[in-house]
A and B are shown apart, each in its own frame.
Chain A
């Protein structure tokens, strides 16, 4: 090999090494070029468990996007939302997160919806310094999931406590049987509930099931035999439909109380009369404005809008507002998110604390009645 060829090869190698090094060191800095649409990611279940809620939030985010773009976009740039299916599953959500961060190079991500999705995407978003703002994940662990991780929904530290107090003080029940799925959301809220319930009540039986299990009969049989005076049933839509039916088939007459994932009209329709009277807590939301309801109808969303769709809508509106002020630098966006205070959205009024969580939470209690969801009180 001649000397010149050697030198050329070495030069090529050096250039490649520098290029790789430069591209690596660029990681984390903002890849946005300042032209073309502003890309925002979305992760939520569009298929699989609890896809009904995911589709609903997707429609709400589309409504917000269309409104922003119709009003001229942000800094004269259109907003593009890239929707990815997290399937309410950590693996699928992590894949979606990686794609959004490294292929699409989004400025921020709305989602995930299920707690397991958010917990799986959090390290990816944190490492890439892309703000991740969940619309519905309530697991307490998300509080400490990272500097770039936010949520526009209160932690289960609030909900588990509210549920325990509601069952003890309002329903006046002291013996609870717990039926819960093995997912981050179910186990998180179950633990908080138990801590708070232990003060003046007893947990007579506690039975878990796989998130995708569809035969809960033996678990229900055991809970029934333990004679609780209330059943705390945590599950996503599909297992809940089946579980509510099986509770009825097995002749369980005990009152049933569930968590906020039950705010899905699919459960009311799917379980029908079997769900009658089953109650659940859900973050109190203001009544949606008619313009939003109309826009959602055009998007063919469910007739009864759940609690999270408004939150998804609000997140995109807040992001658009922040990007309009500070541009697309993700660190600046993150800093601005911590400053959100008393933001009056359509779903709630949001104030974020130093951990990126909502500072306060209000709940209301709803119940299923003849294939509909109605407010209790």
Chain B
């Protein structure tokens, strides 16, 4: 049996999830320039919102997903409005902002544990066999297909927004230099809040998809930030296109890495790749050397 097509499919599934995370992570990083832990907790919030609305209250699944995305986005916006905007006005260092984000991350995670217990929960009903599709000998479920299509769609629309709209231009300007953007009349605070909202929506969506595909628990966020940051660094931190590429590269290396050696090496390979990039190409694939 040829397992290559299946490994390709596995890589694409993993890569799509990482891509959504990296898109959100990089968008926020580009505007604020510090490693923000909050998105990790927002992924869990997205997943749990859907779990609550769909599994507990039995509401429509599409409505639940949209609500989950918006709630995650709203919490992201709130974190900026209440905390990070204040820190920016104090000109707080990146370390301070990072520690603040770690605090919010831990607080939100604890809040979820209190509300929903820390148990692992499955979001989609498992009483029916999942519908699977076959392409060239690779098997995947409809959820996994949906994840792939959504991540591509999210990437394309984000790229179009950044390229074509004045909003996108402003975002790029802020990413380049916040001070100068302010001088030329961009309301940077409002813009950054919007970036937080959009980035958090993407991360929330990734959390929801992880819930559908695997399941949710309150501490899922740390893994999400780790994978998102790894993909972003490989692709080029703060660079939305780079993060997307890095995510798929990470997915492929992780899954193809264990093609010939036992599976326990998977994380060692993923983080080995990260270290190689940090040593030899710290700016990542897409960023130019400074």
Contacts and interface: CB of A to CB of B under 8 A. Distances in A.
A135 B98 CA distance: 41
Interface in B102-121: 113, 118-121
A30 interface: no
Contacts of A28: none
A12 B217 CA distance: 54
Contacts of B132: 249, 251
Interface stretch (A34-42, A109-117, A267-275): A267-275
Q: Which of A217, A242, A371 has the most CB of B within 10 A?
A: A217
A121 to B, nearest CB: 21
B149 to A, nearest CB: 18
Interface in A60-106: none
A218 interface: yes
B215 A241 contact: yes
A270 B215 contact: yes
B121 to A, nearest CB: 8
Contact of B217 (A216, A238, A251, A274): A238
Given A207-B264, A242-B215, A273 B129 contact: yes
A195 B267 CA distance: 28
B14 interface: yes
A248 B215 contact: no
A158 interface: no
B42 to A, nearest CB: 19
Contact-size category for B: 35 or more
Contacts of B263: 207-209, 216, 218-219, 222
Interface residues of A, number: 39
Interface in B242-290: 254-255, 258-259, 262-264, 266-267
B120 A270 contact: yes
B3 to A, nearest CB: 4
Interface string B1-40: 1010011001001100000000000000000000000000
B118 A51 contact: yes
A274 B119 contact: no
Contacts of A216: 263
Contacts, number: 103
Interface in A331-366: none
A371 B254 CA distance: 33
A249 B141 contact: yes
B61 interface: no
Contacts of B130: 245, 248-249
A150 B132 CA distance: 48
A374 B3 CA distance: 35
Contacts of B140: 249
Interface in A5-45: none
Contacts of B118: 47-48, 51
Interface string A193-223: 0000000000000111110111111110110
Contact of A209 (B13, B126, B259, B266): B266
Nearest to A223: B263
Contacts of A237: 120
A266 interface: yes
Q: Which of B7, B120, B132, B223 has the most CB of A within 10 A?
A: B120
Contacts of B214: 214-215, 242
A210 B226 CA distance: 15
A240 to B, nearest CB: 10
A52 interface: yes
A157 interface: no
B230 interface: no
Contact of A218 (B7, B120, B127): B7
Interface in A303-341: none
B139 interface: yes
A51 B141 CA distance: 29
Interface of A: 47-48, 51-52, 182, 206-210, 212-219, 221-222, 224-225, 227, 237-238, 241-242, 245, 248-251, 266, 270-274, 371
Given A51-B118, A225-B1, A270-B120, 16 more contacts: A208-B262, A209-B266, A216-B263, A217-B10, A221-B7, A221-B10, A222-B263, A238-B120, A238-B217, A241-B120, A241-B215, A242-B215, A248-B130, A249-B130, A274-B126, A371-B127
9 contacts: A214-B215, A214-B223, A216-B263, A218-B7, A237-B120, A242-B215, A248-B130, A249-B132, A273-B126
